Amino acid sequence: MRTIVETPQRVDVPPIRTDATEQKRRVWPRQNVNKALLLVRLVVGLLFVGHALQKLLGWFGGDGMEKFTANLQQLGLQPAPVWAYGEAGAELVAGLLLALGLLTPIAAAVLIGDMLVATITVHLSKGLWAQGGGFEYNLVLIAILLAVGLIGPGLYSLDRRLPFALPRPLAFIAAMVVVLIGVAAAILPTLGAAAGQ
């Protein structure tokens, strides 16, 4: 008895392009992704630094610490001076770290926490859109910071020069857990006080 085995016919696969144009197409996104990450980190990080200096020193048209502390007092964050200096200091340090690409997952998580507190205490009740005082801008910053925290700082960063590598995304997730505990510590007493009134 004869067994007939059919072999599948070979489908001709077009050859893989390996010309110079194809090689450039493959390399181009990697080079520019790192440049784009640098641009995003610099712009967002330095804007947070400027925002912190508005609060701490009254620079760039800011009101300074006295008025910022009074605003936090009015929002119910207690003790207001501790939260005011903590928040402004966090923006300054984390903004610098983000711009430099140093300890990037931690910096991104701290700035997300800052935006969450601002969103919940100031902007959430005003709706989404920024023209009505809503949290649209905060949400955009949170999304950018989440992306950088998860992706990493890119090649052009001081994190690449560290003698150790922060595990991605675990370092960011761990930092977010700690930050969310801090956000809860800031927000929950104000929500309880507002409910009691």
Instruction: Single out the residue of 83, 147, 91 nearest to residue 115, CA to CA.
Output: 91
In whole angstroms, give the CA distance from residue 58 to residue 67: 10
Cis peptide before 8 (omega within 30 of 0): no
**Encoded amino acid at 98, one letter:** L
Domain range summary for the chain, segments of one domain joined by +: 37-192
Q: Say what the pLDDT of residue 190 is.
A: 76
Distances (CA, A) of 97 to 106, 109, 134, 193, 197: 9, 11, 27, 35, 40
Q: Say what the pLDDT of residue 186 is.
A: 86
Task: Report pTM.
Answer: 0.81
The 3-class SS string of the chain reads CCCCCCCCCCCCCCCCCCCHHHHHHHHHHHHHHHHHHHHHHHHHHHHHHHHHHHHHHCCCCCCHHHHHHHHHHHHCCCCHHHHHHHHHHHHHHHHHHHHHCCCHHHHHHHHHHHHHHHHHHHHHHHCCCHHHCCCHHHHHHHHHHHHHHHHCCCCCCHHHHCCCCCCCCHHHHHHHHHHHHHHHHHHHHHHHHHHHC
- pLDDT by residue for the chain (197 residues), tens only, comes to 666 656 556 666 665 556 666 666 666 667 789 999 999 999 999 999 999 999 999 999 999 999 999 998 988 888 889 989 999 999 999 999 999 999 999 999 999 999 999 999 889 989 999 999 999 999 999 999 999 999 999 999 999 999 998 898 999 999 999 999 999 988 888 776 655 55
Q: Say what the pLDDT of residue 22 is.
A: 64
Tally Cβ neighbours within 10 Å of residue 149.
25
In whole angstroms, give the CA distance from residue 178 to residue 78: 20
Q: Say what the pLDDT of residue 40 is.
A: 97
Q: Say what the pLDDT of residue 77 is.
A: 82
